[in-house]
Amino acid sequence: EIVLTQSPGTLSLSPGERATLSCRASESVTSRYLAWYQQKVGQAPRLLIFDASSRATGIPDRFSGSGSGTDFTLTISRLEPEDFAVYYCQQYGRSPYTFGQGTKLEI
Amino acid sequence: QVQLVQSGPEVKKPGASVKVSCKAPGYSFSSYGISWVRQAPGQGLEWMGWISAYNGNTNYAQNLQARVTMTTDTSTGTAYMDLRSLRSDDTAVYYCAFTQNPYTSSLPFHFWGPGTLVTVSA
């Protein structure tokens, strides 16, 4: 199975700053089938980015995704207070569809 | 935006089975695929498998294949996830997630249910 490794494990930033989250795959992700999800405490995950760089419906344009092959990045251009959460990457190109271990974005 | 409704929390003893349901009221159920994802307390996300609401095709995670069955009832627009031979490490929140195409499991999870807590304890 494809193992996804996210870094850093925890990212401490302030509102207004730029956040860069990394997701590295153990092998190439088919057709850039890589998604990013945001999860707040007590809530279900929410899809932010799919196909590596496409924003899901209703997602603000401060969220952007990039990358291909084995290296992917989620960037939040200017952090808002509601952005502090845990972020997961997921590959859905090859079953089993694995998730990274998560990056906690904290104030 | 598809709103999903899941069944309520469950407490089970080791060795028992649990069946969790997921419904999308008011939507064309057969147009979707449904994945199930679980999250143990304080842990990350684990994909369990997928079922097509159109034709019932399934794709299970190999580590759960012997214990999990996913089904759908198109008459009521409900998906079910049945997990057998429960162990303490099956304690988790179980989410259903709808994908916007019933013909392939290789899709992102656009819509998520609120989750169902399953606790396995003697």
The model's pLDDT over B49-67, given as tens digits with 9 standing for 90+, comes to 999 999 999 999 999 999 9
- pLDDT score at B26: 78
- pLDDT score at B25: 81
Predicted confidence (pLDDT) per residue in A30-80, tens digit:
889 999 999 999 999 999 999 999 999 999 999 999 999 999 999 999 999
| C-beta neighbour count of A104 within 10 angstroms | 15
> Which of A23, A72, A95 to mutate to probe the B interface, most B CBs <10 Å?
A95
For chain A, the first-to-last Cα distance in angstroms comes to 34
- Nearest beta carbon to residue A56 from set B37, B105, B110: B110
- pLDDT score at A70: 96
- Nearest beta carbon to residue B105 from set A30, A44, A95: A95
Binding-face residues of A in 87-106 toward B, CB within 8 A = 88, 90, 92-102
Predicted confidence (pLDDT) per residue in B13-27, tens digit:
999 999 999 998 878
Give the integer Cα–Cα distance in Å for A60 and B42: 28
- pLDDT score at B27: 81
User: Does B95 score more than 90 pLDDT?
Assistant: yes
Q: Can you read off the two tokens belonging to residue B34?
A: 């449904």
Give the integer Cα–Cα distance in Å for B16 and B86: 5
> Which of A3, A92, A98 to mutate to probe the B interface, most B CBs <10 Å?
A92
- pLDDT score at B89: 96
